[in-house]
Amino acid sequence: MPEAEILVVGLGNPGPEYEATPHNLGFLTVDRLAARHSIRVSRLECRALVGEGRVEGRPAMLAKPQTYMNLSGQSVKGLLDKYGLQPAQLVVVYDELDLPWTQLRIRPKGSAAGHNGMKDIIRCLGTDEFARLRLGIHPGHPVRDGAKFVLAPIKSGQKKELDELLDAASAAVESIIAQGVEKAMAAYNRRAQGLTREEE
C-alpha cells in the first residue's frame, strides 16, 4: 500500500455514550467512508484509530482521534508529522451548530468559529489553512444550551435523515479527494442554505 496522500480526520468523542450524538458526526462520516471503501479503521496510532486504503483511486488514511474532542489537535499533528503530510493534505469533518440540520459546507481554510475540536487543531498545527467539511446540526429552533445539545443522542425520528447526511458527507469527501476543494465546494455548497451568521 503506498503512503497516504491525504488524511481524512473525523472529529468526535470516544465511548458508547457519545456514539450517536451530533458531536460525533465526524466519527460517523469516517465510519461510512470506511465502509464504502472497505477500509478497516482499527489501528491505534498517535492517539487515533486509523485505517489506510484507497478513496477515489488515491491512497488515503482515515482517522478518528481518541483524545476527546477538545484535544483533537495533538492526534492530528502527530499523524501529519509521522507520515510526512502537510496541512494542505488534511481534510477535517465535524459538526456545525451554525448550519441547519443535514446541510453541508466545504471550506478550504478558516477560523474554528467556536468549535473546540477545531480550535485545538488550529492551535497545534499553527495554521487554519486546511480543508474542512462542516455538517449542520442546528435543529431549526433556539438551542438554549449548545454544549448539552451536541452531546444528546440524535432522535430516532432523524435516523433516515442521518443516514442520508452520512452518504452525502462521504460523497463530499470523495469529491474533495478526487477533484480538489474548489470543485467540491461548487458541487456541494449550493445546498447549504440558511447560514445563521456570516462566515468568517
Q: What is the mean pLDDT of residues 43-68?
A: 97
pTM over 0.85: yes
> Roughly what angle, to the nearest 10 degrees, separates helices 116-125 and 72-82?
40
Q: Is residue 67 part of a domain?
A: yes
Do the beta carbons of residue 36 and residue 170 sit within 8 Å? yes
pLDDT exceeds cutoff 70 at 198: no
User: Active site includes 23?
Assistant: yes
Q: Is residue 197 part of a domain?
A: no
Here the cell at position 121 is 487543531
Taking the C-alpha atoms of residue 134 and residue 156, their distance in angstroms, rounded to an integer, is: 22
pLDDT band at 194 (very low <50, low <70, confident <90, very high): very low
Here the CATH number for the domain that contains residue 23 is: 3.40.50.1470
Backbone angles phi, psi at 135, to 5 degrees: -115, 120
Q: What is the total count of domains within the chain?
A: 1
Do the beta carbons of residue 112 and residue 163 sit within 8 Å? no
Q: Which of 23, 37, 115, 138 is catalytic?
A: 23
**What is the average pLDDT value for the chain, to the nearest integer?**
93
Q: What is the mean pLDDT of residues 26-43?
A: 98
Q: 7-11, 12-16, 74-78, 195-199: which has the minimum mean pLDDT?
A: 195-199
Q: Is residue 26 part of a domain?
A: yes
Q: What is the mean pLDDT of residues 109-137?
A: 97
Of 178, 156, 29, which Cα lies nearest the Cα of 96? 29
Q: Is residue 200 part of a domain?
A: no
Residue 19 CA: distances (Å) to CA of 69, 103, 151, 154, 156:
13, 20, 9, 10, 13
* Structural domain that includes position 109: 6-191
pLDDT band at 1 (very low <50, low <70, confident <90, very high): low
> Roughly what angle, to the nearest 10 degrees, separates helices 159-179 and 25-36?
70
